[in-house]
Amino acid sequence: MPSLPNPIRLLVAAVGLLLVRFGVLDRERARRTTDLAWPRIVTGIARMSKNAVDVAMVGIALGGAAIGGVGLAGPYWGLAFSVGGGIAAGTIALVSQRFGGDSLDGVGQAVRSSAAVVVLLTLPLVVVFWTFAPDLVGLLSSEAPVVAYGADYLRVVSLGVPFAALNLIGSRVFIGVDDAWTPMVLRAGGALSNIAINAVLIFGFDLGVVGAALGTVLSNALVTAVFAGTLANGRLPGVGEFPVQVDPFGTYLDRDVVGQLVSIGLPVIGRNGVWTVAEFPMLAIAGLFGPGVLPAFVIARRIWGIMNTPGWGFGLAASSLVGQELGRGDEDSAESYAREIIRFAVAVYVLSGAIVFVLADPVVLAFVDDPTAPSVPVATDLVRVACLAIVFQGISGGAAGPLDASGDTRWPFASQFVGMFCCSIPVAYLGATTSLGIAGLYLAFVAETAIPAALNYYRMRSNVWKRVSRGYRPGATPADD
């Protein structure tokens, strides 16, 4: 794996070494976790920054109505990541366990079946979004300009849904075989190209929200093509050989593998869907608070997405490293990785949250052209609350990684559902309709992470996930959970 003086890598490594010095991390496990986590964090920052730049560009070009429209279309686009991420959880569980157990033929079958399933699941979304874009966005707002911008964006961006889902499959394959560098290069490069394309289409060709959507489609299609070529050839020019090569002409719909992917993936689709579906009522509730709150909420959620990227890295590192140890039959080592990665993740979240807390004012101002806009102080306060709430995400995501690796994915789905629909959304609604006021929106940020953190950590400590994993290892018989 290439070694570059990347500031994210240096920061994560420094936190890991500090924890090693205090005796809470093993040095070798800290090194392996860092090697897998930091490229995924960079990828996440690039992707979430791309989303934030989309909002900033259309806001500067077209104003607050465009920000609101793109924000309302966002949850529909997010369904691609709910579906793709769910099947990709099955992909990384199967690939990492087969790679750990030296079953390379099984890796290829898992990849092909994952690609087939995710395409079959996302194509209907393209049809629905293209056909009913105005009606779907109109469910969330009655403001005509906001709906018009959102519908234009959603119709075009829907064409990129299958590509976005396939890219998740591709990245999990690489991470599952201990290569987080290649997906970072491809997906971060795609995000940067997206920003460049957007700038040309939005400002050069005056295409507005349509330009932002086209940039997303084109960049995702490009990354998908490179992923496919790399997996088929077993190498990427300029990067090197890949640990496995996937025959593109083999069987795609293997019944047993598809069954395992669905068994692992459906609860993760549900868990991801909780985040996505919850955005619909949350956006509608934000609109009830009065002028300026909806764009402030959209801005805060974009910044939240960037702050949440350490969890992507540590969650996937846990899925890969824990999965490989389970594939070897070493459950004690798997548990050690699980516990230490949670500690590592929380420490990084505390540091990154503190940095954003201090810089909240200039970060928010990057999204608006009028510093006196009513959305600015609201967005700043929301970002600072998010900096406190995000620490719990280190526990939640870190604990969910081992559960995903083992195939025990129903529990994280349930914990996320309880946190969002039983706590976060009701509290936000109380804020909009009672004297609780904007404090309800602040408390909603905390509830959506604190509740899943407690529940996922409890499940990880129970060790039930070890027994569940025995039903997904090569040659194993299913186990009940």
Query: Which mean pLDDT values do the consecutive 10-residue runs of the chain (481 residues) have?
Result: 63 92 92 86 74 76 80 81 82 81 75 92 94 89 85 93 91 81 81 87 88 91 91 77 82 88 82 76 85 83 84 82 84 90 92 91 80 82 91 89 83 89 94 91 92 93 86 57 46
69 inside domain: yes
Asked if 163 and 220 touch (Cβ cutoff 8 Å), the reply is yes
Tokens 């400002």 sit on residue? 203
139 found inside a domain: yes
Helices 104-138 and 64-100, interaxial angle, to 10°?
160
Q: Is 1 contained in some domain?
A: no
Domain membership flag for residue 480 = no
In Å, how far are 140, 146, 212, 386, 388 from 69, measured between CA atoms? 10, 5, 12, 23, 28
Q: How far apart are CA 74 and CA 275, in angstroms?
A: 12
Q: To which H or E segment does residue 324 belong?
A: helix 309-327
Residue 305 CA to residue 47 CA, distance in Å, equals 9
In a domain, 476, yes or no: no
List residues bridging with 235 in a β-sheet: 241
93 near 404, Cβ under 8 Å? yes
Question: Does pTM top 0.95 for this prediction?
Answer: no
- Whether the CB-CB separation of 53 and 203 falls below 8 Å is answered with no
443 is a domain residue? yes
Which two tokens mark 197?
A: 């394309």
Q: Ramachandran region of residue 208, left (φ > 0), alpha (ψ -120 to 50) or beta?
A: left
- 359, two tokens: 């810089």
Tell me how far apart the alpha carbons of residues 470 and 458 are, in angstroms, rounded to a whole number: 20
Structural domain harbouring 72: 7-469
Report residue 147: phi and psi, to 5°. Answer: -65, -40
Q: Which helix (H) or strand (E) holds 155?
A: helix 144-157
> What kind and span of H or E run contains 240?
strand 240-241
pLDDT reported for residue 160:
92
Instruction: Specify if 479 maps to a domain.
Output: no
Q: Are 405 and 319 in contact (CB under 8 A)?
A: yes
CB-based contacts of 21: which residues, under 8 Å, 6+ apart? none
- 82: Cβ–Cβ under 8 A, 6 or more apart, which residues? 269, 272, 273, 275, 276
Within a 13 Å sphere around the CA of 101, how many CA atoms are in the beta-carbon half? 21
Q: What is the pLDDT of residue 222?
A: 93
What's the rounded Cα separation, in Å, for the pair 470 and 329?
9
Is-contact 416 278, C-beta < 8 A? no
Angle subtended at Cα 102 by Cα 342 and Cα 250, rounded to the nearest 5 degrees: 110
Residue length, the chain? 481
Our count of domains for the chain comes to: 1
3-state secondary structure (DSSP) of residue 178: coil
Is 278:425 a contact under the CB 8 Å cutoff?
yes
Query: Which residues have C-beta within 8 Å of that of residue 295, sequence separation ≥ 6?
Result: 59, 64, 67, 68, 71, 375, 379
User: Is 475 part of a structural domain of the chain?
Assistant: no
